Amino acid sequence: MDQEQIILMSSREIEKMRHAGQTAAQLLQYLEPMVQPGVTTLELNDAAEAWTQARGARSAPLGYPDGSDNPFPKSICTSVNEVVCHGIPNAKQVLQSGDIINIDVTPLVDGYHGDTSRTFLVGEPSPLAERLVKVTEECLWRGIQAVKPGGRVGDIGAAIQAYAEAEGFSVVRDFVGHGVGRIFHAAPQIPHYGTRGKGKKFRPGMVFTIEPMINEGSYEVEVLADQWTAVTKDRKLSAQFEHTIVVTTDGVDVLTLLPELVPA
Q: Which residues bind ligand MF3 (CB under 6 A)?
A: 61, 64, 72, 77, 86, 104, 106, 115, 209, 211, 242
Quick one: 155 or 211, whose CB is closer to ligand MF3? 211
Q: How far is the CB of 154 from Co ion (least distance, A)?
A: 19
Q: Is 160 left (phi over 0), alpha (psi -120 to 50) or beta?
A: alpha
Query: Maximum Cα–Cα distance for the chain, whole Å?
Result: 49
What is the layout of strands, in order, in the sheet containing 116-121?
77-80, 100-105, 116-121
Euclidean distance between CA atoms 126 and 232, whole angstroms: 18
Helices 41-54/11-31 angle, 10° precision: 140
Q: How far is the CB of 86 from Co ion (least distance, A)?
A: 9
Quick one: 52 or 106, whose CB is closer to ligand MF3? 106
Q: How far is the CB of 69 from ligand MF3 (least distance, A)?
A: 14
Q: How far is the CB of 238 from ligand MF3 (least distance, A)?
A: 14
Euclidean distance between CA atoms 220 and 199, whole angstroms: 23
CA trace torsion 137, 192, 28, 61 (10° rounding):
-160
Piece of 63-71, 118-126, 196-204, 209-217 that binds Co ion (CB under 5 A): 209-217
Q: Is 76 in the site for Co ion (CB under 5 A)?
A: no
Binding residues for a divalent metal cation: 104, 115, 178, 211, 242
Quick one: 161 or 256, whose CB is closer to ligand MF3? 256
Quick one: 60 or 125, whose CB is closer to ligand MF3? 60
Give the helix, strand, coil percentages of the chain, each rounded to 5.
Answer: 30, 25, 45
1: CB partners within 8 A, 6+ apart:
185, 186, 187, 189
Q: Is 253 in the site for Co ion (CB under 5 A)?
A: no
Between CA 147 and CA 151, with CA 148 as vertex, the angle to 5 degrees is 90
Q: Pick from 176, 194, 243, 120: which is nearest to 1 by CA?
A: 176
The option from ligand MF3, Co ion, none interacting with 64 (CB < 5 to 8 A, set by class) reads ligand MF3
Q: Is 155 helix (H, G, I), strand (E, B) or coil?
A: helix
Q: How far is the CB of 15 from ligand MF3 (least distance, A)?
A: 22
Euclidean distance between CA atoms 173 and 32, whole angstroms: 28
The option from Co ion, ligand MF3, none interacting with 61 (CB < 5 to 8 A, set by class) reads ligand MF3
The option from Co ion, ligand MF3, none interacting with 192 (CB < 5 to 8 A, set by class) reads none
Quick one: 7 or 131, whose CB is closer to ligand MF3? 7
One of 115, 137, 155, 253 touching Co ion (CB under 5 A) = 115
Q: How far is the CB of 142 from Co ion (least distance, A)?
A: 18
Contact 229, 87 (CB under 8 A): yes
Binding residues with Co ion: total (CB under 5 A): 6
Which residues contact Co ion (rule: CB under 5 A)?
A: 104, 115, 117, 209, 211, 242
